[in-house]
Structure 1
Amino acid sequence: MKMTTPSLAGKVCIVTGATRGIGKGIALQLADAGSKVYITGRTLEPVKNSKIGGSLLETAEEIRKRGGHCIPVLCDHSNDIDVKSLFEQVEMENDGRLDVLVNNAYSAVDTVIDTIKTDFWELPVDYWDTVNRVGLRNHYICSVYAARLMAPRQHGLILNISSSGGLMYMMNPVYGIGKEACDRMAADCGHELEKHNVAFVSLWPGAIRTEHMVEIFENGDAEKLASMPMEQIDSVRRTLKKTATPEFVGQCIAAMANDPNVMKMNGKIVLLGDLALRYNLKNKEEGHEPSDFTRVNFLLEYGGFDRLAQFVPNLVRIPKWIVHLGSYKFF
């Protein structure tokens, strides 16, 4: 069932890392909204005996069944030649047009989870590249190529999929440094793109019910859970049952791409919950909504105070200037 009203007809979009999870959800919704979507990933064919699955052809087939237009492109985002070829293909096939780029590709989910309890100086020095070559460096490279297409046309939207790990300690230093850099990329690149009417935004989706998260925390991936502190496992399990789905992230991004005032968000960090409020969107699955850490009731649920959380309305939120103070950057 489509969740959006077609409103992006004629638009050209790229979603990196769209074989599953958030990237797939975004691709599905952008296609549902009428846009032509280029999806990238390293896995073309379905993988046999995979617990979480995911391939370009599977995503493309689902888009096709729903009446959308999708072009799967096999692309290793750690390979600069592959990335350059992707944008050359998009430019050639669309007369230089590109309306939306979603930098979502990330190749280190398992690596980061497996090393949560390991201090950074005990990790191999190439750990930085494992985590941030695709999740940070590639975002910048894709953004350069996208900006070269968007700026001359005075139109476009670039999104980095980031997280609150850029604000405070999360997982490990290398993960946090990468996420904060994604946020700063949106701010500084957005500053230069503003005169060209191109918006660059860093989106924090929060916890999302991806196949990977469900497999680990709900189906009980013992090997992955063994590497995590028990209190963190309990907190994630409590919130994951109610958090938004990957397609809801896509629904919000489709609304952003159709927003005539999207430039107001340029260079900013945007929370998924704020987009849901701005566009009056609801997750199609009953009882699911964005995990918004500025909502007091969400924080209470995350801390295990479910009963108390029921008495606190969603509108009771922590001001973002207070959240910013939690970044502990200044002496």
Structure 2
Amino acid sequence: MTPALHGKVALVTGASRGIGRGIALGLGEQGATVYLTGRTGSGRSGHMPFLAGSLEDTARDLTALGGTAVPLVCDHTDDAQTRGVIERIRHDHGQLDVLVNNVWGGYEGLHIWDERGQAWNAPFWEQPTAVWDDMFGAGVRAHYVTSQLAAPLLIKARGLLVGISFFAAQRHRNTEGIPYFLAKNATDQMALAMANHLRPHGVTSVSLYPGLVRTEGVLLAPEGSFDLSNSESPHFIGRAVAALASDPEVFRRTGQVLVAAELGQEYGFTDIDGKQPTSLRADWAE
């Protein structure tokens, strides 16, 4: 049987590790050609050397699953580098079927536990401005610029645009920093606004929420830091994106905020361990 995404072209930003890596694998599993971007081409990251994962690793595992990987080193805070990636896709294929804006610099302070991580739960006046810069520069702005440059290619394919967000966008809690809340909320609002612009061209734009994901950083946290009983592998989020990209009626969802676990229930896919994670929507509604 031909894989569901055979012949489709995707771009996943921030695919060296974590959720981006999982999304790339989920698309590759269904036969897509996946362009992978990130700052770590091979070896260990110069920014976070204790976290495993590189574009080379993702490309190898994606190819083993039956997809085609095109790894491209790119720092998405540099617009010229982002433009180079889009031009490469334009040259190679002339269109883009799926764009997943996943790149996110907001957790870097937590991983290396510098002043940004130490002030993660502090009142906003005690947080360094770098927390905002990380989340909006290597997050929201990077998503906007990549989408802006890729839009003509998505329009040619009547493609799918996915922004990775989180439940914190919906409800601010006292323990969540204001930049985090606003950055995730901006990602959701950007999906809606872009849906309005892209609707006449048949392009679907959505925001997607993972649950608690077993990324390399989460798994390095001290024992007891997270209750992993209802957690998700990064690959599970990839299966959610692949299910959307394979759905011939996905356009009906444009402008919506979606939850990976709820899509699993609807489309019938499971995590790589066969489990069906439960949506965290109720937890965040409290």
> Aligned equivalents of 1:283 and 1:117: distance in 2?
31
After TM superposition, the structure 1 stretch with the greater mean CA deviation from structure 2, 161-170 or 73-82, is 161-170
Q: Tell me which residue corresponds to 1:118.
A: 122
Please list every run of 5 or more consecutive structure 1 residues that lacks an aligned counterpart in the other structure: 221-232, 300-317, 327-331
- Cα distance, 1:291 vs. partner? 4.4
After TM superposition, the structure 1 stretch with the greater mean CA deviation from structure 2, 24-33 or 111-120, is 111-120
> Aligned equivalents of 1:143 and 1:81: distance in 2?
14
Q: Tell me which residue corresponds to 2:69.
A: 70
Contact 1:111 1:131 in 2 (8 A): no
Q: Tell me which residue corresponds to 2:59.
A: 60
Q: Is 1:160 paired with 2:157?
A: no
> Aligned equivalents of 1:67 and 1:8: distance in 2?
11
What do you get for the CA RMSD once the two structures are aligned? 2.2
Please list every run of 5 or more consecutive structure 2 residues that lacks an aligned counterpart in the other structure: 111-116
Contact 1:187 1:268 in 2 (8 A): yes
> Aligned equivalents of 1:248 and 1:269: distance in 2?
17
Q: Is 1:187 paired with 2:192?
A: yes
Using a 3 Å threshold, how does the CA distance of structure 1 residues 127 and 35 change in structure 2: closer, same or farther? same
User: Aligned to 1:270, what secondary structure does the other structure show?
Assistant: strand
Contact 2:140 2:186 in 1 (8 A): yes
Q: Of 231, 241, 257, which aligns to 1:243?
A: 231
Using a 3 Å threshold, how does the CA distance of structure 1 residues 204 and 124 change in structure 2: closer, same or farther? same
> Aligned equivalents of 2:130 and 2:65: distance in 1?
42
Task: Supply the AA of the counterpart residue of 1:209.
Answer: R
Q: Tell me which residue corresponds to 1:107.
A: 105
- How big is each residue's C-alpha offset from its partner over 1:85-114, in whole Å with a ceiling of 9 and x where there is no partner? 1101110111x1100000000112132543
> Aligned equivalents of 2:131 and 2:108: distance in 1?
12
TM-score (norm 1): 0.78
User: Aligned to 2:15, what secondary structure does the other structure show?
Assistant: coil
Written as runs of structure 1 = structure 2, the 5 A alignment for 1:130-279 is 130-151=134-155, 153=156, 155-170=158-173, 171-218=176-223, 233=225, 237-238=226-227, 240-279=228-267
Contact 2:95 2:157 in 1 (8 A): no
User: Aligned to 2:100, what secondary structure does the other structure show?
Assistant: strand
User: Aligned to 2:150, what secondary structure does the other structure show?
Assistant: helix
TM-score (norm 2): 0.90
- Cα distance, 1:289 vs. partner? 3.4
Q: Is 1:289 paired with 2:276?
A: yes
Could you say which structure has the larger radius of gyration? 1
- Cα distance, 1:6 vs. partner? 1.6
- Cα distance, 1:17 vs. partner? 0.4
How many aligned positions are there?
276
- Cα distance, 1:241 vs. partner? 3.2
> Aligned equivalents of 1:24 and 1:202: distance in 2?
18
> Aligned equivalents of 1:128 and 1:50: distance in 2?
23
- Cα distance, 1:119 vs. partner? 1.5
